């Protein structure tokens, strides 16, 4: 008798299906891909000042939008969609097959990553074309960008799966998940310059991953001279990686521990 | 060979006992029907056997394994079973062939995708989105996804609820084809005719207990059931149950000295027997 197919191979197939499913939900595509662009257009038109020599608000804002894109596509979409999938019986059906649950998680992460790549490309293209965005030329910045995108996708996906156990059903999911994300965005310096926020807000935000993703993306898109203006007067790359990694482990732990295949 | 062996199965949710001590023994190649009204414990039983729920007590062996088996052993066990649960409404944005092909990738020895689509009669719909299917077509897709892994054992939980008569006939013939191919099938239904039509053996289940296990023909002592002779007596309609209705009629003919008013002799239909069996348990 042949062996059942491998977990990674099935994870890739799940990723393909998740991407097909996502791309056929036109509202979701438009919202996820173009919402950051619309926000960039609004904020870029309202705040035309520079926040430091050579750093426009648009430049600062693009870093925040990419970071919060990771939270939207990963954490928010997944924590809302899994309860809906449970309502529809999708997860229960998969549970009755030899598909390992790990492959299901891998599929989610792949689809988040794919959606991020598209989002980033569109956001950067529009930023360059209309809002004077400058791309980094130093290859080491792009290496930072790559690991941030991968680690950010992984931890955001894991935390989304973990948080998907909180909503009782698909109908209530959005009302529970969205406020968490919006508050986190305000606290983490996505919409405002982080160091101008009240101290207590900064401290709360420092516990959560979005602040570190945002700061990490600033280290990619802002000149190194700006590092002096960060809270620690440095980009804190190592600490960012560590904190994102800890959140990834926490997310995976609760994802596996609390995952349900049907609603209560 | 026993495909399913269950002893003393109990499952409760809080104060409610859904399954109250069930024994089952199902042979390879058999179509076995769990027949009972809604809430009788059919679905809970199937969901325990299919590995979705953990019983409170009792022993369960399905294809030689405890359905709660996890890890690689659990995967190879699931590779050998197919599950068609009650109505799901997932996968709407996939095309029929896309989703069947995707599920085929989960199994070690899947059936041919196009043959399965053909077998469930969805060949014309293979490139349609699942959300465009009718209720009956959707249910046939459920079956396609249940059998794509070429299972030795197939669970079907109320497969034809909401079907029109024609669709049910087509579905029944599909199930008979699967049996002919050697698949063991555990079916739940609340349709008596479905159990009678398909099942080699039927277990009647009500309020979490099995009342009787039998072939459809012998269910409830149907073949030996007493006939009821009824007539209009002096003080209204009278009746008598008897193994020898002819003797009763002869006796009555003598009493009435000729024509017996409103004479009728009836034997219970399977439905009468079934309703009597589950009705007695309702309180």
Q: Is residue B89 part of a domain?
A: no
The helix-helix angle for A57-70 and A170-187 (nearest 10°) equals: 150
Among the listed residues A192, A164, A93, A117, the one whose alpha carbon sits nearest the alpha carbon of residue B143: A93
Out of A13, A24, A100, closest to residue B105 by CB: A13
DSSP-assigned letter for residue B28: T
Same domain membership, residue B76 and residue B8:
yes
Q: Is residue B173 part of a domain?
A: yes
Question: What share of chain A in percent tops pLDDT 70?
Answer: 99
- CA–CA gap between residue A154 and residue A200 (Å, rounded): 28
Q: What is the pLDDT of residue A105?
A: 93
DSSP sequence for B82-126: EEE-S-----TTSBHHHHHHHHHTTSSSPPPHHHHHHHTT-GGGT
The model's pLDDT over A198-207, given as tens digits with 9 standing for 90+, comes to: 889 888 888 8
- CA–CA gap between residue A79 and residue A71 (Å, rounded): 11
Question: What share of chain B in percent tops pLDDT 90?
Answer: 37
Q: What is the pLDDT of residue A171?
A: 87
The helix-helix angle for A139-163 and A209-221 (nearest 10°) equals: 160
Q: What is the pLDDT of residue A42?
A: 86
The model's pLDDT over A128-154, given as tens digits with 9 standing for 90+, comes to: 888 888 888 889 989 999 999 999 999
- Retrieve residue B91's tokens: 């996968």
How many structural domains is chain B composed of? 3
- CA–CA gap between residue B67 and residue B69 (Å, rounded): 5
Q: What is the pTM of this model?
A: 0.85
Q: What is the pLDDT of residue B280?
A: 59
Among the listed residues A201, A186, A245, A151, the one whose alpha carbon sits nearest the alpha carbon of residue A39: A186
Same domain membership, residue B132 and residue B243:
no
Same domain membership, residue B250 and residue B111:
no
pLDDT at B282 over 50: no
Same domain membership, residue B246 and residue B119:
no
The model's pLDDT over B131-171, given as tens digits with 9 standing for 90+, comes to: 999 888 888 899 899 999 999 999 999 888 777 788 788 88
- Residues A217-234, mean pLDDT to the nearest whole number: 82
Q: Is residue B258 part of a domain?
A: yes
- Residues A226-245, mean pLDDT to the nearest whole number: 84
Q: What is the pLDDT of residue A2?
A: 60
pLDDT at B221 over 80: no
The model's pLDDT over B33-91, given as tens digits with 9 standing for 90+, comes to: 998 888 888 889 999 999 999 999 999 999 999 888 888 888 899 999 999 988 778 88
- Residues B246-263, mean pLDDT to the nearest whole number: 86
Instruction: Residue B53: list chain A partners with CB under 8 A.
Output: none
Kindly report the number of other CB atoms within 10 A of residue B181's CB atom. 12
User: Is A92's CB within 8 Å of B89's CB?
Assistant: no
Q: Is residue B15 part of a domain?
A: yes
Among the listed residues A71, A35, A51, the one whose alpha carbon sits nearest the alpha carbon of residue A221: A51
- CA–CA gap between residue A3 and residue A151 (Å, rounded): 32
Q: What is the pLDDT of residue B220?
A: 74
Same domain membership, residue B59 and residue B191:
yes
Q: What is the pLDDT of residue A38?
A: 87
Average pLDDT over chain A reads 88
DSSP sequence for chain A: -PPPPPHHHHHHHHHHHHHHHHHH-HHHHHHHHHHHHHHHHHHHHH--SEEETTEEHHHHHHHHHHHHHHIIIIIIHHHHHHHHHHHHTHHHHHHTSS--HHHHHHHHHHHHHHHHHHHHHHHHHHHHHHS-------HHHHHHHHHHHHHHHHHHHHHHHHHTTSSSSHHHHHHHHHHHHHHHHHHTTSSS-GGGS-HHHHHHHHHSHHHHHHHHHHHHHS-GGGGGGSTTSS--HHHHHHHHHHHHHHHHHHHHHH--SS--
Same domain membership, residue B199 and residue B141:
no
**A-B C-beta contacts closer than 8 Å:** 75
Q: What is the pLDDT of residue B39?
A: 82
The model's pLDDT over A2-49, given as tens digits with 9 standing for 90+, comes to: 678 899 999 999 999 999 999 998 888 888 888 888 888 888 888 777
User: Cβ of B78 under 8 Å from any chain A Cβ?
Assistant: yes
User: Is B98's CB within 8 Å of A99's CB?
Assistant: no
Q: Is residue B283 part of a domain?
A: no
Helix (H, G, I), strand (E, B) or coil at B30: coil
Same domain membership, residue B158 and residue B74:
yes
Out of B83, B90, B149, closest to residue A88 by CB: B90
Q: Which residue of B has its CA nearest to A101?
A: B71
Same domain membership, residue B156 and residue B64:
yes
Same domain membership, residue B34 and residue B171:
yes
Suggest the residue from A96, A100, A259 to mutate for an interface test with chain B (most B CBs closer than 10 A): A96
Suggest the residue from A16, A86, A97 to mutate for an interface test with chain B (most B CBs closer than 10 A): A97
Beta bridge partners of B213: B203
pLDDT category at A225 given cuts 50, 70, 90 is confident
Among the listed residues B21, B72, B40, B50, the one whose alpha carbon sits nearest the alpha carbon of residue B204: B40
The phi and psi torsions of B267 (rounded to 5 degrees) equal: -115, 145
- CA–CA gap between residue A212 and residue A219 (Å, rounded): 10
- Residues A226-251, mean pLDDT to the nearest whole number: 86
- Residues B257-267, mean pLDDT to the nearest whole number: 85
User: In which domain, by residue range, is B263 found?
Assistant: 226-267
User: Domain of B179: which CATH number?
Assistant: 3.40.50.300
What is the β-pairing status of strands B16-27 and B2-13? antiparallel
The phi and psi torsions of A246 (rounded to 5 degrees) equal: -60, -45
- Residues A51-66, mean pLDDT to the nearest whole number: 84
Instruction: Residue B101: list chain A partners with CB under 8 A.
Output: none
User: Cβ of B52 under 8 Å from any chain A Cβ?
Assistant: yes
Q: What is the pLDDT of residue A204?
A: 87
Kindly report the nearest CA distance between residue A91 and chain B, in angstroms: 9
Q: Is residue B85 part of a domain?
A: no
Q: Is residue B281 part of a domain?
A: no
Average pLDDT over chain B reads 87
Q: Is residue B201 part of a domain?
A: yes
Same domain membership, residue B254 and residue B116:
no
More confident residue, A262 or A23: A23
């Amino acid at each position: 008798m042949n062996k059942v197919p491998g977990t990674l191979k099935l994870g890739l197939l799940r990723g393909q299906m998740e991407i097909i499913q996502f791309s056929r939900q036109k509202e979701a595509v438009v919202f996820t891909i173009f919402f950051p662009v619309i926000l960039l257009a609004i904020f870029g038109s309202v705040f035309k000042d520079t926040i430091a020599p050579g750093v426009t608000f648009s430049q600062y804002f693009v870093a925040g939008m990419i970071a919060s894109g990771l939270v939207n596509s990963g954490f928010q979409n997944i924590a809302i969609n899994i309860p809906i999938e449970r309502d529809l019986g999708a997860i229960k059906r998969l549970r009755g097959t030899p598909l390992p649950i790990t492959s299901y998680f891998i599929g989610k992460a792949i689809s988040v990553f794919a959606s991020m790549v598209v989002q980033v490309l569109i956001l950067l293209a529009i930023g360059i074309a209309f809002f004077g965005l400058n791309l980094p030329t130093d290859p080491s910045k792009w290496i930072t960008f790559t690991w941030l995108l991968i680690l950010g996708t992984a931890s955001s996906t894991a935390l989304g799966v973990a948080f998907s156990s909180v909503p009782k059903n698909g109908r209530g999911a959005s009302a529970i998940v969205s406020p968490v994300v919006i508050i986190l965005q305000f606290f983490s310096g996505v919409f405002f310059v982080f160091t101008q926020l009240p101290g207590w807000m900064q401290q709360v935000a420092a516990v959560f991953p979005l602040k570190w993703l945002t700061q990490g993306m600033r280290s990619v898109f802002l000149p190194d001279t700006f590092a002096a203006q960060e809270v620690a007067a440095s980009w804190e790359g190592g600490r960012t990686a560590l904190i994102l990694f800890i959140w990834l482990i926490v997310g995976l732990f609760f994802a596996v521990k609390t995952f349900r295949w049907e609603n209560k | 060979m026993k495909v399913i062996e269950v002893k003393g199965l109990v499952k409760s949710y809080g104060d409610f006992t859904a399954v109250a001590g069930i024994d089952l023994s199902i042979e390879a190649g058999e179509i076995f029907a769990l027949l009972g009204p809604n809430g009788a414990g059919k679905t809970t039983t199937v969901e325990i056997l299919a590995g979705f729920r953990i019983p409170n007590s009792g022993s369960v062996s399905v294809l030689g394994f405890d359905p709660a088996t996890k890890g690689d052993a659990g995967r190879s066990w699931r590779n050998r079973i197919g599950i068609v649960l009650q109505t799901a409404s997932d996968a709407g944005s996939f095309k029929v062939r896309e989703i069947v092909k995707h599920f085929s990738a989960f199994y070690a020895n899947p059936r041919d995708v196009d043959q399965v689509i053909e077998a469930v009669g969805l060949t014309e719909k293979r490139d349609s989105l699942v959300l465009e299917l009718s209720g009956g077509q959707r249910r046939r897709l459920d079956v396609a996804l249940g059998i794509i892994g070429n299972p030795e054992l197939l669970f079907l939980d109320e497969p034809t609820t909401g079907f029109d008569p024609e669709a049910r006939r087509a579905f029944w013939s599909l199930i008979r084809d699967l049996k002919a191919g050697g698949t063991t099938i555990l079916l739940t239904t609340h349709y008596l005719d479905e159990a009678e039509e398909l099942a080699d053996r039927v277990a009647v289940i009500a309020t979490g207990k099995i009342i009787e296990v039998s072939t459809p023909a012998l269910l409830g002592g149907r073949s030996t059931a007493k006939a009821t002779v009824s007539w209009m007596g002096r003080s209204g309609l009278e009746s008598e149950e008897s193994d020898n209705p002819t003797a009763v009629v002869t006796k009555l003919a003598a009493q009435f000295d000729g024509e017996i008013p409103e004479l009728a002799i009836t034997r219970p239909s399977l439905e009468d027997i079934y309703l009597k069996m589950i009705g007695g348990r309702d309180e």
